[in-house]
Structures are given as structure tokens and as C-alpha cells.
A and B are shown apart, each in its own frame.
Chain A
Amino acid sequence: MYLFVAFSALWVLFFIYAWSLSRRQARLQKELEELKSQQGVRRQD
């Protein structure tokens, strides 16, 4: 029983972490795009 808990909990833990990484990456990516477009707009001025 302990074995099952250990293995499943481990999977859950790593998935949560990987998912949190994905989310942060996506957020940063969005910000990067926004800033880059701002930079593009300014360059045209």
C-alpha cells in the first residue's frame, strides 16, 4: 500500500512542478512578446 502511495505521489509531485514551470514559461513568453512588439513600435517612431 505504501508502495502505491509513494509512486503515485511522486508522479503527482513531478507533474505539478513541470506544470508550474510550463505556466511560468508561458507567462514570461507572453510578456516577452508584448515587450518586443512595444520595442518594434518605438523603433518606428
Chain B
Amino acid sequence: MGKTLPTIHFLATLVWMLLAFWMIFLYAPQELTMGEVQRIFYIHAPLAWVAGTAYTIVFSCSVIYLWKRSPVADDLAHASGEVGFVFCSSLLFTGPLWAKPVWGIWWTWDARLTLTFVLWLLFVSYLMLRSYVSSPGRAATLAAVVGIIGFVDVPIDYMAIRWWRTQHPQPVIAGGEGSGLDPRMFLTFMVCVGAFHCLFSYLLARRFRLARARREVSALRRSLAFRASED
């Protein structure tokens, strides 16, 4: 594998994240009604997109695994589940920090928040299932089934602020009339989306390598035990 590619990945992530933060604080203009605290939007919303990406990867790799039985797909699904859990937790953490100063409440059970909490639970249950099944082959298959069925929540969650009247703000990026951002805000936002996806991909790659290493260790252990039993 070598050390060069991961190092480049790390540096690229670092640079992109630093750029993003510079833009968040020094480039993007201040929002009219909410003031400085609105800047949380530039982390909160991209985190949501990443969480969605993460679960989509879990879903696609689950499908591929059931179809092709590829260990790479299984490892990638597991890795995406774990890293996605971290991002989804951050999402649920930053949301209330924005809500409290702006709405006066930490939380409410509207459609968007509820379904996003459900997404978080989906990550948790996915990871729990993986750790509670003893045989790795069974774990992979069952987790894949769960990953596929759970994906139903993701599109509903995305559409939630369009289908229902929610406490959560209406779409500003891809919404209908009344949406749209100041161009500098839009640019900042897109840079942040990229930065967080880059961070996600970096952590995903590391977690994936970890999974592969674990697989190698198990295989080696098995072959050594086998050879020991031969003597």
C-alpha cells in the first residue's frame, strides 16, 4: 500500500478543511437574521450530506456483497457504517447547538429531526449487529440485509422538509421558490461539503484498511492453527 497515498490523502484533507474554515469565518458574509451563530450551518448541513453519503455507501456495498460476496464490499460497508456513525453523531450534536440560540429549544420531534435521529439509530443498530454476530460470514450477510432495508429512511429523511411543514428550515440549496443563497455563502457551503466529504473519505480509507488488516490477521491465525494441528 505504501505510505505516500495515505499521506497525500491526509494532507489534501487538511488543506481542504483549513480552506473551508477560513471561508466559514473570513469569507462568508454574516447572515441577516441569525448573526454569527448561523455559521454553524456550514458544518451542520455538510455533515448531513456526508451522513447520507455514508449510509448510501453502506446500502450499495450491502447490495454488492449479497450479489458478489466480495469481502471488499463487506469491509467497505462496515467502515462506512462506523465512520458514518461518527459523522451522524456530530450532525445531531451541532444541530441543537444551532437550534438553542435561534429557536430557543434544543430539540423538537418534527419530521426532519425525527427521521435523522432514526438514521443515527440505524447506524447504531448496524454496528451493534455486526459486533454481536459471532461468525464473520453470517455477520456480513445479516448486516447487508439490515443495511438494505434501513436505507428506506434516507430518501424520506431528505424529502422531509419538503413534504412536511417542519421546525427545521426549508431547503436553501436545492429548494423551490424562496430558496437560494448569497453567492459567497453558496461557494463557502460547497467548499465545506467537499471538505467534509474529503475528511470522510480519509477516515473511511483508514477504517477500511483496518478492516482489511483484521481480515489478514484472522486468515493468518487460521492458517497457523491449521498448520499446528497438522503436526
Contacts and interface: CB of A to CB of B under 8 A. Distances in A.
B208 to A, nearest CB: 10
B224 A10 contact: no
Interface string A6-17: 110110011001
B213 A28 contact: yes
Contacts, number: 67
A21 B210 contact: yes
B162 interface: no
Contacts of A2: 37, 40, 97-98, 100-101
Q: Bin chain B's interface residue count.
A: 20 to 34
Contacts of B94: 6, 10
B86 A3 contact: no
For B36, B98, B210, B223, the residue with the greatest tally of chain A CB atoms inside 10 Å of its CB is B210
B120 to A, nearest CB: 14
B130 to A, nearest CB: 15
Interface of A: 2-3, 5-7, 9-10, 13-14, 17-18, 21-22, 24-25, 28-29, 31-32, 35-36, 38-39, 42
